[in-house]
């Protein structure tokens, strides 16, 4: 699809996307790359990473795949270091890695609950924490005009209540809290923009095929979906692209302490 944005809006930027090998994460990665960014994708499955990287490179995108599990702080540190070593900077972190399955609360073991909390929420914080030293200024000593940006992909399940998603709802609520806290602290201290994107049901994703298998097909003709369709990965990628670009931010011109 033709992009509404100029092709070079992320030129010179480097992005690291967790869960960037499939679904929404891959779409964001592809659009960042098509708009000039060099991209590193992180995931647990080498075969998924390999196939995503080859498809990105076939589009002329500078891309690398880095195996790792966001639950492990050693993996997080290794992956952010490797991204910086390979591309020489790190401007954008997108936390799109997530775990999910449908299960009634009664049948969910505490370890199943913890597993999704660990991937979605602890993993998001772990990646942000590991990447901070590079994202602060696009890299140590780089002196770019502003700090970089972080985007956390959340959901809308926890705004009300969703059947068989207690673990994911709790995890995504925590992701939203992490987003707000980091936006406050790191925005103030380092000029880093921390934003959340909360997709509703998005078609053609591993998440939707797990959460709405054929036997529970979502009725898209109801007026609970005003556009009579599920969202598209493209919609999310365009929102991410806007937030990552200079269009998403106008640096303040305060000469000194703005609160004086
Ligand atoms: C019940 C389950 C389960 C299931 C795992 N567990 N799958 N419980 N039903 N289907 C329990 C296990 O029994 C175990 O608890 C614990 O969870 C850990 O399981 P493991 O298999 O050892 O964990 P792991 O290999 O780390 O895998 C975790 C995983 C992950 C969450 C299952 O592999 C996964 O889901 N990957 C898919 C990624 C995915 O779908 N991404 C899209 C997300 S979409 P016990 O007690 O037995 O030890 C998304 C969108 C949300 O997030 C919003 C949509 C609208």
Residue 162 alpha carbon, nearest atom of ligand 1: 55
Q: What is the DSSP letter of 231?
A: B
Q: Is the CB of 160 within 6 Å of ligand 1?
A: no
Give the per-residue pLDDT at 141.
40
Cα–chain center distance at 249:
18
Q: Is the CB of 165 within 6 Å of ligand 1?
A: no
Q: Which pTM was predicted? A: 0.92
State ipTM: 0.95
How far is the C-alpha of 2 from the C-alpha of 15, rounded, in Å?
Answer: 21
Lay out the sheet containing 38-43: strands in order across: 63-67, 38-43, 14-18, 92-95, 149-153, 193-197
Give the per-residue pLDDT at 145.
45
Q: Give the H or E element holding residue 59.
A: none
Q: Is the CB of 25 within 6 Å of ligand 1?
A: no
- Compute the distance from residue 113 Cα to the ligand 1 centre, in Å: 9
Give the per-residue pLDDT at 139.
44
- Compute the distance from residue 190 Cα to the ligand 1 centre, in Å: 35
Q: Is the CB of 203 within 6 Å of ligand 1?
A: no
How far is the C-alpha of 4 from the C-alpha of 15, rounded, in Å?
Answer: 20
**Bridge partners, residue 38, by sequence:** 14
Q: Give the H or E element holding residue 71.
A: none
Residue 100 alpha carbon, nearest atom of ligand 1: 35
pLDDT along the chain (260 residues), means of 10: 92 97 98 98 98 98 98 98 97 97 98 98 98 78 64 97 97 98 94 95 81 60 72 96 88 56
Give the per-residue pLDDT at 219.
61
Q: Give the H or E element holding residue 75.
A: helix 73-87
Q: Is the CB of 211 within 6 Å of ligand 1?
A: yes
Phi, psi at residue 60, to the nearest 5°?
A: 85, 15
- Compute the distance from residue 65 Cα to the ligand 1 centre, in Å: 23
- Compute the distance from residue 167 Cα to the ligand 1 centre, in Å: 10
Residue 229, classed as helix, strand or coil, is: coil
Residue 210 alpha carbon, nearest atom of ligand 1: 40
Give all strands (DSSP E) within 44-118, no chain letters: 63-67, 92-95
């Amino acid at each position: 699809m033709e992009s509404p944005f100029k092709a070079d809006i992320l030129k010179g930027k480097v992005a690291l996307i967790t869960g960037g090998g499939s679904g929404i994460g891959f779409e964001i990665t592809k659009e960042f790359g098509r708009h000039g960014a060099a991209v590193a994708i992180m995931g647990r499955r080498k075969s998924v990473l390999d196939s995503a990287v080859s498809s990105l490179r076939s589009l002329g995108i500078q891309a690398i795949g880095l195996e790792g599990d966001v639950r492990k702080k050693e993996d997080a540190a290794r992956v952010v270091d490797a991204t910086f070593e390979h591309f020489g900077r790190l401007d954008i972190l997108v936390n799109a890695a997530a775990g999910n399955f449908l299960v009634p609360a009664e049948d969910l073991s505490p370890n199943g609950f913890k597993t999704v909390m660990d991937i979605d929420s602890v993993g998001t914080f772990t990646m942000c924490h590991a990447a901070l030293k590079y994202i602060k200024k696009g890299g140590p000593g780089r002196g770019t005009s502003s700090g970089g940006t972080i985007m956390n992909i959340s959901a809308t399940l926890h705004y009300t209540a969703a059947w068989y998603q207690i673990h994911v709802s709790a995890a995504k609520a925590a992701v939203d809290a992490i987003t707000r806290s980091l936006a406050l602290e790191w925005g103030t201290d380092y000029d880093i923009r921390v934003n959340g994107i909360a997709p509703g049901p998005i078609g053609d994703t591993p998440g939707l095929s797990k959460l709405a298998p054929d036997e529970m097909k979502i009725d898209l003709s109801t007026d609970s979906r005003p556009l009579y369709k599920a969202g598209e990965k493209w919609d999310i990628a365009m929102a991410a692209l806007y937030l990552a670009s200079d269009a998403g931010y106008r640096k303040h011109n305060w000469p000194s302490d703005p609160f004086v």
